[in-house]
Amino acid sequence: MPPALIRHANSREVERLGVAIDALLVRIGDGVRAQREFAGNVAHELRTPLAGIRALAEYGLAQTDPALQREQLLAISQAQARASHLVDQLLALALADESRGSLTLEAVALDAVAREVVLRFMQRADQVGVDLGAQGLESAVRVRANAALVEGMLTNLIDNALRYGRSADGRAPVITIALTQGAGEARLSVIDMARA
């Protein structure tokens, strides 16, 4: 027995159903293409660090001096941390791409999100000798956004700043999270003061 929709539908309803099915098939095709592209990008981006880890391990296994073996183990650990960071970045990018079509915007307290993320990184910043600070977080700033994507983006930027921020004159790097607002817009910045 055919579905009631088809059995009782007029031509306009059938046409709308056809348009909806076509749109669904286009979205499915776009999703499959995006997944293939993502898989290809991941394979390409991870090939180099994984080859480096393997080379470090092979060289370390060929050594008999415990100090050289320890040195290689340390290098492997650092290379693995960089590869894990890369995977996190790729996954965040995939999440952002995936949610682009179905992004839910809501009222977000940008100052509170920024404050929470900065506090999460304070101990790590102290450990690596980076002066991490914030400006403009004392005033309430509300925007329409996706809180998870804002938090992920800010986390990624601060993480990169702590990893790669350097002061040209040898002083401790100074990374500042700045929140400004005016003329109907809000701007959240991660500033490497050594390069500003």
Provide mean pLDDT across the span 1-12.
55
Residue 96, pLDDT score = 64
Quick one: pLDDT band at residue 196, thresholds 50, 70, 90? low
Q: Is 50 exceeded by the pLDDT of residue 29?
A: yes
Does residue 141 share a domain with residue 88? no
- For residue 194, CA distances in Å to 121, 163, 166 come to 19, 14, 7
pLDDT digits (tens, 9 = 90+) for 123-180: 888 888 888 999 988 988 888 887 877 888 888 888 878 877 766 676 778 889 999 8
- Mean of all residue pLDDT scores within the chain: 79
Same domain membership, residue 187 and residue 160: yes
Whether residue 110 is found in the same domain as residue 86: no
Total domains present in the chain: 2
d(CA 134, CA 118): 8
CA atoms of 16 and 22, how far apart (whole Å): 10
Q: What is the pLDDT of residue 9?
A: 55
User: Does 65 lie in the same domain as 35?
Assistant: yes
Is residue 73 a contact partner of residue 60, using CB atoms and an 8 Å limit? yes
133/185 same-domain check:
yes
Helix (H, G, I), strand (E, B) or coil at 109: strand
Choosing from 100, 132, 151, the residue where a domain stops is 100
Using an 8 Å Cβ cutoff, are 178 and 189 in contact? yes
Give percent of the chain above pLDDT 70.
Answer: 80
Q: pTM of this prediction?
A: 0.51
Task: Output the pLDDT for position 53.
Answer: 83
- Note whether 15 and 94 are same-domain residues: yes
- 114 and 86 housed in the same domain: no
pLDDT at 195 over 60: no
Tell whether 126 and 141 lie within a shared domain.
yes
Tokens representing residue 12 in the block: 């306009």
- More confidently predicted of 139 and 32: 139
Q: Which residue has the higher pLDDT, 91 or 124?
A: 124
Same domain? For 95 and 154 the reply is: no
Identify whether residues 155 and 69 lie together within a single domain: no
Mean pLDDT of 37-41: 72
pLDDT in tens, 125-136: 888 888 899 998
User: The domain that contains 161 carries what CATH number?
Assistant: 3.30.565.10
Domain residue limits at 119? 106-192
On whether both 29 and 112 belong to a single domain, the answer is no
Bridge pairing between strands 142-145 and 106-109: antiparallel
Show which of 68, 100, 132 is a domain's final residue. 100
Residues 72 and 126 in one domain: no
Tokens for 74, please give them: 């340390």
pLDDT computed for residue 2 by the predictor:
46
